[in-house]
Structure 1
């Protein structure tokens, strides 16, 4: 089995190389936006004239004519493969949109989408020993920008496929994509001990059914105060001025630092879970809908907008969506699987008897069942319920000792629980009478 794996390394360009980076990224961004306008606004006219739709291959052939225009002669400074990859990224964005995996493609913006890709492995050379990266326009010929200095924190292994250079804040990074050959593990059918449930929350980001807690807030009050201060400083500057560009870069640097810190923490958590558990069950949450603004419209203004905005920030800070994305491929690499179960009433269901009641959640941290008096940490109780639903999805069944609802598949009440204690279990009594 072959799989793709990327290694992200820090690039330390010279001032001349950084200017070349910005020019290439700007050219790729322009080609991407022009291709988006063509496919969005002129597809009907193109079909009426030619009888076919606009695709990636047709747009790639038009790049030569675009470079020949006097107004666009600056596109010759960018490698042709990078411009072609910008159009291929646009085609991938449309494919994801029509496949229902993403929204409609949006134009790329300066400062947010500064990236370009070199797809030809024959033109790429990685020197691990000297920490150098040779790319077209950078070290391939004498007199160009020279080889890039990178920090190789790990040795890439496998077949080199492509390199993507991108900017986050004021730092540049190179993602080296490798294709490796991995042996698909032949594992037996999963059993109940192989399944773990994970509850995602705000105060406790990730709690397992075994009681382990992972994660913490990435942004504290100090970081949020700093972001508000940088945002206010940016709003006071004049558009188009150098002072505004410096303020924008300072704000972007702070945000990218928080994003790297959040991504690093989630990588460590998901790697630990994928190593120690084969089947992971989580709630099927629509994070994008959950973090939508409650502002409303002028005719129908929303309520508790500030409180909802604070909750949205806390949810996005925990990285629930990135947590799910990383678990999918890390479990698949090891022969595992990620299960998404319905999220309805997981925090209101008793893990011992299955009784559903909002009153059982006495506080944020405490769950005390009003039917059977079962008491546990609220997040751990929800994780156990998530695990139970995962077992049901797999066709497995686990009956904890001394329970009624799980064994009979029904909700228990206080009378049933008392009857179980008196008769040492309803199931045992029924089997004797039979």
Structure 2
């Protein structure tokens, strides 16, 4: 019997100037989308809490289901987040020009997962992303590592050179590109099969 395990392999990137600008554009678009949707969700959730509080203050009776709803926001679902992103992309055409759609979808899914954790009591309320401290984005698929030539293919950016410090093992599942103090890094998450005897 085998169980899948994931391990990340981190490499320092050597982007050309144009590619580095693309990294910044991707990061900025992701941060903008995340913060815009978080702002909307926060406003809706506050309206929801205000309504419950108002009913309690005026001694309106709450059913058992309504009482449970104090802890869970019933409208939270993945489709509403996807729809919100679609609307946002129509409202701001620069997304199409400056960012890859998969990267934006992944960021929105990150926000959805953060809310799921919050409503399950496993994390705090999601926070707004800040420039410089939250510069990064993730491809869930479509990337390709060319280890022989020390480069990685990132959709809509192209092949980016990286410092090949160790061999990639396992099956690559996703890649996160993030800016740190000394430059940009790629973290490739790979899946392994663990044999249990």
Give the conservation status (yes or no) of the 8 Å contact 2:170–2:192. Answer: yes
> How far, CA to CA, are the matches of 1:82 and 1:4 in structure 2?
20
1:377-412 Cα distance to aligned partner (Å, 9 max, x none): xxxxxxxxxxxxxxxxxxxxxxxxxxxxxxxxxxxx
Q: Is the 8 A contact 1:9 1:151 kept in 2?
A: yes
CA change 1:108–1:116 in 2 (3 A) is: same
2:192 aligned partner: 180
Query: Cα RMSD over matched residues?
Result: 2.0
Q: Relative to total residues, which structure has the larger strand share, 1 or 2?
A: 2
1:30-79 per-residue CA deviation (whole Å, 9 max, x = no partner) reads 11111211221114668x9xx9514332121232222222xx11111211
Question: Could you tell me the TM-score, scaled by structure 2's length?
Answer: 0.80
Structure 2 residue corresponding to 1:60, chosen from 78, 82, 87: 82
Per-residue CA distance 1:210-254 (angstroms, 9 max, x = gap): xxxxxxxxxxxxxxxxxxxxxxxxxxxxxxxxxxxxxxxxxxxxx
- RCO higher in 1 or 2 (8 Å CA, sep ≥ 6)? 2
Does the C-alpha gap of structure 1 residues 73 and 152 become closer, same or farther in structure 2, counting only changes over 3 Å? same
Whole-angstrom distance in 1 between the partners of 2:122 and 2:84? 28
In structure 1, runs of 5+ residues without a counterpart are 140-146, 187-434
| SS in structure 2 at match of 1:34 | helix
Q: Which residue of 1 aligns with 2:163?
A: 151
Mapping of residues 271-310 of structure 1, within 5 Å: none
**Aligned partner of 1:11 among 5, 10, 13:** 13
TM normalised by structure 1 equals: 0.37
How is 1:247-396 mapped onto 2 (pairs within 5 angstroms)? none
State the Cα deviation string for residues 320-361 of structure 1 (Å, max 9, x = none): xxxxxxxxxxxxxxxxxxxxxxxxxxxxxxxxxxxxxxxxxx
Q: Distance in 2 between matches of 1:137 and 1:93?
A: 27
- Which SS does the other structure have where 1:42 is aligned? helix
2:191 paired with 1:169: no
- Tell whether the 8 Å contact from 1:133 to 1:148 is kept in structure 2 after alignment: yes
Counterpart residue number, 1:73: 93
Asked if the contact 2:37–2:84 (Cα under 8 Å) also holds between the matched residues in 1, the reply is no
Question: Residue 116 of structure 1: which of 112, 128, 137 is its match?
Answer: 137
Say if 2:175 and 2:186, in contact at 8 Å, map to a contact too.
yes
- Give 1:15-30 correspondences, 5 Å limit: 15-30=17-32
- Structure index of larger Rg: 1
Name the structure 2 match of 1:131.
150
